[in-house]
Structure 1
Amino acid sequence: MPRKPDEYAVNLLISGGHKEEVRFTSVQDFQKWYSTELMSKSDSEDFVNVPIKNIQGEYMVIRPKSVLAIRVEPVFLSSVERF
């Protein structure tokens, strides 16, 4: 039986070399945010919210046009962390 990830780490590579990581509870949550907020406004210079659910009182906004790459990685909390 395949294991189910506890959450998904989404790594955003932003122009200028910046890297940010946000976490989503399910891949469907990420896909919904990606298709409605990021992909639909991919050439926009306007800011869009990036959901940060695991940090209280913080938020992040990015310009969709500045996102160069996205890496989605499943995270298993019961596994050994690799750095």
Structure 2
Amino acid sequence: MPRKPDEYAVHLLISGGHREEVRFNTVQDFQKWYSGELIAKSDSEDFINIPIKNIQGEYMVVRPTSVLAIRVEPVFLGSVERF
């Protein structure tokens, strides 16, 4: 039985060599943000919000045209499963 990730770390490679990591609770949350914000405005120079999980009062904005690559990594927080 496959394990279910506790959250997903999304690594963004931004032009100029900057790297940022944001986390989403589910891959569906990431897909919703990705298709609704990033892809929908991919040619725009206007800033879009990137949700930052677990950091109260802090936010990040980025220009969609500056995002060069995205890596999505499942994160398992629990201990090793025992059968």
**TM-score band, normalised by shorter chain:** over 0.9
Normalised TM-score (structure 1)? 0.93
Q: Does 1:16 align with 2:20?
A: no
Q: Is 1:57 matched up with 2:57?
A: yes
Runs (4 or more) in structure 1 with deviation over 6 Å come to none
- Give 1:60's aligned amino acid: M
TM-score w.r.t. the length of structure 2 is 0.93
| d(CA) in 2 for partners of 1:12, 1:3 | 25
Instruction: For structure 1, list consecutive stretches of 5 or more residues without a partner in the other structure.
Output: none
Distance 1:43 1:79 in 2: 42
Cα distance in 1 for partners of 2:34, 2:79 equals 27
Task: Report percent identity of matched pairs.
Answer: 85
Structure 2 residue runs without a partner (length 5+): none
How many residue pairs get matched?
80
- CA root-mean-square deviation: 1.1
- Tell me the SS of whatever aligns to 2:40: helix
| Distance in 2, Cα, partners of 1:51 & 1:68 | 18
SS at match of 2:28: helix
Q: Residue 42 of structure 1 corresponds to which residue in structure 2?
A: 42
Which of the two has higher C-alpha Rg? 2
